[in-house]
Structure 1
Amino acid sequence: MKFRLLSMFILLLFVMFLILDKIFMLKITMHEPSPVVYAKNGEILTIRLNKNSQIFLPTTQIPQILKQSVIAYEDRYFYYHFGINPLSIMRATFHNLTHKNRIGASTITMQVARMLNQNKRTYINKIKEIFIAIQLEWHYSKDEILTMYFNLAPYGGNIYGVKSAAKIYFNKELESLSYSQIALLSTIPKNPNKNRLDKISDIKNVKNRLLKELYELKILDKNQYLRAKAESVQNTRLPLPNIAPNYCDIAIQNNQSKTALDLDIQNTMQTILNKTMQNLKSKNANNAAAIIIDNQKMQVISFMGSHDQNAKNGQNNALNMRRNTGSTLKPFIYSLALDHGLITPKSELIDTEISISNYTPQNFLNSFNGIVNATDALALSLNIPFVNLNQKLEKNSLYEMLYSLDLISENKDFYGASIALGSAELSLVNLAHLYTIYANDGMLKPLNIAGKTLNNQKNSIQLISNASAYLSAKAMSEAARSHLLQAYKYAKNSPKIAFKTGTSYLHKDLWAIGVNQNYTIAVWIGNFNSESTDKLTGLNDASKVVFEMFKLLDMRSKQSFIKRPNGIITMPTCLDAFVAKECKNEQIDEHIVGVMQKNRCELISAQELNFMLKNAIITQDELKNSKCSEILASSKPQITHIKQDQIILSEHPISKIMIKCHAFMGDDVYIKIDQDEYFTAKNGDDIFIDLTHGKHSIKCLDDGSNQSEVNIQIRSLR
């Protein structure tokens, strides 16, 4: 009868539990995981605090020895009770009633219950913990509960979870822990604030007592026990790993944990960049950034948005920083000119003073080279030929390329002719991405950077032909060998690469970019606050980083240059900048199959003709008897140094304005200002005219009665 009553009572309790279990449903809420970013090789790059400023690395892979250790220390009968240990509760109750010091009777399951519900330690809450502990046992296996414990347990300060503790205290994964370290981690949760390893405490003795117990339980043999007991305890807490912080920022923003970052390459680039910047610091260059792209996989495998976060303004990040690109966009003009029949690699170009409306570009050295072939113009990074070529591309120019990719947003007039020299500001990442077209047959493929596609690009875009891509890369590789001046020492013994540098106005931005079949490497050096450097240049001061990196990559894995595609033929070609009756400079040159060369009679400008006449490159007779004479005779002269509808502000009642009038043919031009009579001037000479405030018309007439007109306005500053 008593047994029956007892059974009914137990059954009643069980039914009541089931009802309460339905009413008060068990909720398992774990800590929010800390953002973690891994390199390609699986090594942790960074661990960041979660939103609650905690460090928590969840895990389900708990070594058996760690489970045994915790059970021996916390709850020897864990696998035998149903969430609570009645004997332990009675023993603890009796002790606490008869002694001043208090002891606990919490099982591992009860500790999990308490950690799931962080409430004050009261008797009512203790009853709740008991109920939740029974719920846990009802719904989960013992191993599942144990895994919860290891993930919820506090390990001192803001460290939660055993995997987090192993990383922060020992920089180890759980399976690599020593027996001594396992014992230490087993004892911390009992009193995490007292036992935490970055504080001096009695934890060594506690650890040794647990090791002895593990030995007595035959979990450890004698040798294991003695070695673990002798192992010293380091009272320290390691800093969170923070490798490639700028790259990791992007990965975390993209919710990406596993990344393509190559840690060996990242560390190598970091070393080279640090050494370079240490040497440039005295010349007011405080910041640098670099990127390496795997051209085949189209992944960013190394990125430094700031080479040193402790440098002046080093907390900035070059990821989205847009800067003047200097001469780095000239190769794209060269490529477009090849594709549209304006040049072949050896075509003669004219490097002389030109004006486009009121814009007069200058070369970096403020000198002119006269006649120069297209490849040498790229190698020497001459400004005039590329400004000229870009203008002649008209609606197929650099502006249209960049605008089609949403890399620039203003209208064409906003950038003007100076777009060829870097006025279209780009970020390091976008600039490097553009250069990958030379390794990918002229195609801009989507680029993955830390888990996200750059600029949300969905499809590949054919920007230039594969033949143009190769010929341009070849031209840049020849530049890297023959025109590096003092930077040649950096290029020596490096693998063959297509290479370009750039330096912006006042030496603010130094660029160096290299490309081969395997990688694209781009480097920016300068100051995040836009201060000028002490006359540093991309060629002399940034190029070293690119060449050194390619040398080391070549040692790691043999590098390949861009492959020559089909569709390129060699044939005798007249290279003359101006084709007279007979060709003066015929050589074998490379042509893109299917590209018809433009009529040079329509491409030559009056300014270029004037230069050639004045320097006896051609004569007036050759000009008159050339194939171009009919076209040129009907072409209007060009007025430069002022532009249509220009407003000039002046504080003087009379302003002296300089203009030039360039006629295609003839020695003289005829100038008319407003309603005055025409006066004669030399073709292409400087002409100074005095103008009062107000609107003015300036006309230029050539010997063939072709006339051009520009209207301007002079306004008072007051």
Structure 2
Amino acid sequence: MLTDRNGAFVTQLGHESEVPGVGRVVEYGYWPAAPPERVARAMLALEDRRFHDHPGINPAAMLRATWHNLTRTGRRSGASTIAMQVARMQQPGPRNLWSKAVEAGTAVALTLRYGRAAVLAHYLRLVPYGNGSHGIGHAARYYFDKPAADLSWAEIALLAAIPQAPALHNPRNPAGLARAVARGQRALTTLAAQGAIGAGEYDTAVAQLAAITMSAQPLRPDALHLVLRLRDMVERVGIARLDPADARLRTSVDLGVQARVARLAELRLTALQLVGAQQVAVLVVRRGTREVLASLGSAGYAVRHGGAFDYSAASRSPGSTLKPFLYALALQRGVLRPDEIMVDMPDRSLGMGNADGGFLGPLLPRQALANSRNIPAANLLRRIGLESAFQHLRELGVHDSEAPAAQFGLSMAIGSLPTGLDRLVRAYGALAEDGMLGDLVWYDGQRVAPPRRLMAQWAARQVTLFLADPQARLPSFQRHGTTEYPFAVALKTGTSQGFRDAWIVAWSNDFMVGVWVGRADAGPMMGVTGAQAAGAIAQAILLDLHGTSADALVAGGFAAPDGTAPVALCARTGRPDDGACGETLLEWLSAEDTLGARAEVEAPARGLADLSAEPLQRLSVVSPEHNSRHWRNPEALPRLNRITLRAAVRLPVSQVVWHVNGEPFAVTDPSAPVYWPMTPGIHRFQLWLPSGDAASRSVRIVVE
């Protein structure tokens, strides 16, 4: 029996079997509860009064039943003992004389081998109580929501009346309840005669039994995808800790949150249907514990347009939502620095543009990621290496593809590698939890692997700060829209090609919310973006979870990387603000980075020769990537068979010299791209200052 985190009924996980002539039957219970003495006495009072005197069969009752069945018509007498009923429940068969004989022999053998107490306990574990319930432990919970030990005499008597004919004595319909009450009265009378109940207790029990009412049958919430996922996880993953005598499994879900999430998501989806959206999926996770508070698989299991599919687990194109993992990996490996300038300019060699069709020019990494620019992300993927990035995303659980990384290419940065919302939210947990990746938790006792570090703490925090800066999102995302909150929220949106999928993953200090919006047929929507559609749903949910409104102001923010300090940087150069650079952004730099930044400001006074001796490299080849392999297309025009050369220069110079294979190739502005015509063979590229005072490391490539 599954409950939510507050004890509310979610569902029951039953025992399925095929019954000849009936079909598939689901039964619940079989909890091995130690039967309380009062329950045992009540059952014996109705089912087997001489239980403690016979060896498993009651010869006198069997002779009496045989004579009754031979001399009278109408209802037949059974004379089954408790032990015989145990034999029949374990091995059901046709009701004839042969099966009766087998049951009798088995009953005697069970009693002799295990003893009467064990046979009675097993009976109370197996006996049917109607409505699919088996065993006193489950029946007490199912009908009265209490352990068997806490049942009153009236409740015990009512339950004792049911097993003789569970359908006839079904307490959930008025006629069945009346019959069960009448038979329960017989049990109380017998118990009083035996001295098991005192006179006062008897009067109280009789009055309570006559007035007894049944609580409403627990109903499964309208969240079938969640129920099916929980069932599958319990069967596949298992349960580490569960009291067999009270097999209630507490899930992490909060049904109140689940209902509010469904309402908010479906309300906004209604408006989006006008532009082609059909379905929505949402995951809500508590930060720190990784507990899933709500899981919405679709707009409704029975709705049109594929409502029966669980889109929280479906693999779709993630759009730009994988970019933060590339930035974190690049920062961690030293391929990228927070104060480095990235270039968002047209690049034919990439074969891609930005979603808005425009380009923003030089950008700090904070801006490039927050604005979700495609060209910088693709170039960053080049620098990291396809295979390295592909493997990193596999370790994060984003995918389990066995295809080669080259199959996805640089478009991996903008959505060519499919994933699911549940995988994506789990992976984003590593960013939100200081680089530690852990499993999502769905229920108590779930077997989960210990969290493991997949990112450096400072890299995860740096990317979180990138994604939490509303100012850095300009101009791509407007202020005070669906991506802005009155409290600290880091977020990343994604829109797949053709507006087929709209995504967002957003987290505050307390919660993480993942949202997908799309169509059942994976068809295009009409300009529906992650920020517009998924962003509006996530914003409504996070505001609700925090109990605040969009116009409130809540103090607090995300932690900065350890050992860093805020430095105002010029947005176009990445150099420290000298009071004349125009737009600035606050960036968190380490002590080493800060010294390097100061060195750049002081460079004119110190001279280039002094600066070239700094421990940090000031000239670097951004593109092509070291040890990369390139292929010429023999069918393409010669002018298209070229490689774009890009530099990262953090020196106060106006020109640099590109060397190819040891020879000068071009003199250019440091921020301008240079195009080199490909020729087969091994080639080396290097950047030099015109004065010859400093040079970058050499980059080697192979052209085939």
**CA–CA distance in 1 between the matches of 2:393 and 2:230?**
25
Q: Counterpart in 2 of 1:131?
A: 105
**CA–CA distance in 2 between the matches of 1:501 and 1:105?**
71
**CA–CA distance in 1 between the matches of 2:214 and 2:431?**
56
Structure 2 residue 547 is the aligned partner of structure 1 residue 564: no
**CA–CA distance in 1 between the matches of 2:180 and 2:384?**
80
**CA–CA distance in 2 between the matches of 1:181 and 1:647?**
86
Give the one of 378, 401, 415 matched to 2:369.
378
Moved more, 256-265 or 45-54: 256-265
Output one character per residue of 1:115-150: Cα deviation in whole Å (capped at 9) or x when no partner.
233233344443443333333333445443333222
**Cα shift at 1:551:** 3.4
**CA–CA distance in 1 between the matches of 2:140 and 2:289?**
35
Alignment RMSD: 5.0
**Cα shift at 1:157:** 7.2
Give the one of 494, 497, 512 matched to 1:502.
494
Work out whether residues 168 and 239 of structure 1, in 8 Å CA contact, stay in contact via their aligned partners in 2. no
Change (3 A) 1:397 1:160: closer
Work out whether residues 325 and 422 of structure 1, in 8 Å CA contact, stay in contact via their aligned partners in 2. yes
**Cα shift at 1:511:** 0.9
The count of corresponding residues between Structure 1 and Structure 2 is 602
Q: Counterpart in 1 of 2:73?
A: 100
Change (3 A) 1:403 1:280: same
Identity of aligned residues (%): 24
Q: Counterpart in 2 of 1:58?
A: 30
Larger Rg: 1
Work out whether residues 246 and 317 of structure 1, in 8 Å CA contact, stay in contact via their aligned partners in 2. no
Change (3 A) 1:367 1:209: same
Output one character per residue of 1:493-548: Cα deviation in whole Å (capped at 9) or x when no partner.
65312111111111111111123444433222212431223322211211233333
Work out whether residues 379 and 623 of structure 2, in 8 Å CA contact, stay in contact via their aligned partners in 1. no
**CA–CA distance in 2 between the matches of 1:81 and 1:223?**
33
Change (3 A) 1:174 1:482: farther
Output one character per residue of 1:635-658: Cα deviation in whole Å (capped at 9) or x when no partner.
9999xxxx9432659xxxxx9997
Moved more, 152-161 or 501-510: 152-161
Alignment of 1:408-557 (within 5 A): 408-445=401-438, 460-463=452-455, 465-479=456-470, 488=480, 494-555=486-547
**CA–CA distance in 1 between the matches of 2:294 and 2:268?**
17
Give the one of 91, 113, 116 matched to 2:64.
91
2:80 alignment partner AA: S
**CA–CA distance in 1 between the matches of 2:337 and 2:176?**
81
What's the TM-score once normalised by structure 2's chain length? 0.70
Alignment of 1:285-684 (within 5 A): 285-300=277-292, 302-311=294-303, 312-318=305-311, 320-341=313-334, 344-345=337-338, 347-355=340-348, 357=349, 359-394=350-385, 398-399=389-390, 401-402=392-393, 407=399, 408-445=401-438, 460-463=452-455, 465-479=456-470, 488=480, 494-555=486-547, 561-570=557-566, 576-577=572-573, 585=581, 589-593=587-591, 644-646=631-633
Output one character per residue of 1:612-637: Cα deviation in whole Å (capped at 9) or x when no partner.
xxxxxxxxxxxxxx99xxx99x9999
1:54 alignment partner AA: V
Change (3 A) 1:200 1:583: closer
SS at match of 1:309: coil
**Cα shift at 1:431:** 1.7
Structure 2 residue 239 is the aligned partner of structure 1 residue 247: no
Give the one of 35, 46, 62 matched to 2:11.
46
1:214 alignment partner AA: L
Output one character per residue of 1:216-271: Cα deviation in whole Å (capped at 9) or x when no partner.
7444533442342244679x976667653323322222233746523344444344
SS at match of 1:322: coil
**CA–CA distance in 1 between the matches of 2:54 and 2:290?**
57
**Cα shift at 1:304:** 3.8
2:564 alignment partner AA: I
Q: Counterpart in 1 of 2:245?
A: none
Alignment of 1:196-207 (within 5 A): 196=170, 204-205=178-179, 207=181
Work out whether residues 499 and 514 of structure 1, in 8 Å CA contact, stay in contact via their aligned partners in 2. yes
1:333 alignment partner AA: L
**CA–CA distance in 1 between the matches of 2:97 and 2:555?**
71
SS at match of 2:470: helix
Change (3 A) 1:125 1:488: same
SS at match of 2:15: coil
Work out whether residues 320 and 427 of structure 1, in 8 Å CA contact, stay in contact via their aligned partners in 2. yes
Alignment of 1:3-152 (within 5 A): 36-41=1-6, 44-52=9-17, 53-59=25-31, 60-62=33-35, 64-101=37-74, 102-152=76-126
Q: Counterpart in 1 of 2:207?
A: 226
Moved more, 39-48 or 112-121: 39-48
Work out whether residues 286 and 526 of structure 1, in 8 Å CA contact, stay in contact via their aligned partners in 2. yes
Q: Counterpart in 2 of 1:26?
A: none
1:126 alignment partner AA: K
Output one character per residue of 1:552-598: Cα deviation in whole Å (capped at 9) or x when no partner.
44359x9975423422134576765499xx99749774323556999
1:362 alignment partner AA: G
Change (3 A) 1:584 1:347: farther
**CA–CA distance in 2 between the matches of 1:124 and 1:268?**
59
Work out whether residues 283 and 292 of structure 2, in 8 Å CA contact, stay in contact via their aligned partners in 1. yes
**CA–CA distance in 1 between the matches of 2:417 and 2:292?**
23
Work out whether residues 215 and 222 of structure 1, in 8 Å CA contact, stay in contact via their aligned partners in 2. no
SS at match of 2:163: helix
SS at match of 2:559: coil
**CA–CA distance in 2 between the matches of 1:448 and 1:319?**
15
Change (3 A) 1:492 1:645: closer
Moved more, 292-301 or 478-487: 478-487
Work out whether residues 502 and 511 of structure 1, in 8 Å CA contact, stay in contact via their aligned partners in 2. yes
Moved more, 339-348 or 515-524: 339-348
Change (3 A) 1:530 1:61: farther
Work out whether residues 465 and 560 of structure 2, in 8 Å CA contact, stay in contact via their aligned partners in 1. no
Work out whether residues 288 and 305 of structure 1, in 8 Å CA contact, stay in contact via their aligned partners in 2. yes
Output one character per residue of 1:66-112: Cα deviation in whole Å (capped at 9) or x when no partner.
43432332233434444333443343344334322432322323322
**Cα shift at 1:353:** 1.7
**CA–CA distance in 2 between the matches of 1:528 and 1:636?**
40
Output one character per residue of 1:179-214: Cα deviation in whole Å (capped at 9) or x when no partner.
666544333322345444577856624532432551
Q: Counterpart in 2 of 1:18?
A: none
SS at match of 1:207: helix
1:440 alignment partner AA: E
Work out whether residues 57 and 163 of structure 1, in 8 Å CA contact, stay in contact via their aligned partners in 2. yes
Work out whether residues 523 and 546 of structure 1, in 8 Å CA contact, stay in contact via their aligned partners in 2. yes
SS at match of 2:128: coil
What's the TM-score once normalised by structure 1's chain length? 0.69
Work out whether residues 246 and 304 of structure 1, in 8 Å CA contact, stay in contact via their aligned partners in 2. no
**CA–CA distance in 1 between the matches of 2:324 and 2:261?**
25
Moved more, 120-129 or 326-335: 120-129
**CA–CA distance in 2 between the matches of 1:419 and 1:237?**
50
